[in-house]
Amino acid sequence: MFNFMGCNQMMFGSKVRYGITYKTNQKAFKVYRRKYVHDFRVPITSDNMEGSRGLDLSKFNKILVSKIDKIFVMCADTFNKTGEIPITLLKTETREPN
């Protein structure tokens, strides 16, 4: 990878908000501050999960996620869908779903 900072040593703080770069035998050093705050989290699904609920079952190493008419069972380690529980809803008489 290209070293655009021109350094041979980098140190980061405990919360990784600041970084210090320097070269050997150099009188000064540069302090960089993190520009964006992100956790490098990747979404597991792109579905609309508005109004959904989640439940962590740590004893079984599973996560339950509700959607409108289904409950998804997911593995807590890999976040892969391992099961699905359908829910039968009452017939609606208005334009809003039950």
Determine contact, residues 68/85, Cβ cutoff 8 Å: no
- Confidence check: pLDDT of 40 > 80: no
Kindly state the percentage of the chain with pLDDT values over 70. Answer: 84
CA 80, 82, 87: angle at the middle one, nearest 5?
Answer: 120
What is the domain partition of the chain in residue ranges? 1-41, 44-93
Mean pLDDT, to the nearest integer, of 23-31?
78
Task: Give the pLDDT confidence score for residue 21 in this predicted structure.
Answer: 79
**Which of 2-6, 33-37, 72-76 has the weakest average pLDDT?**
2-6
CA angle 88, 71, 69 (to 5 degrees): 35
Mean of the per-residue pLDDT values of the chain: 81
pLDDT beyond 70 at 1: no
The mean pLDDT of 45-61, rounded to a whole number, is: 86
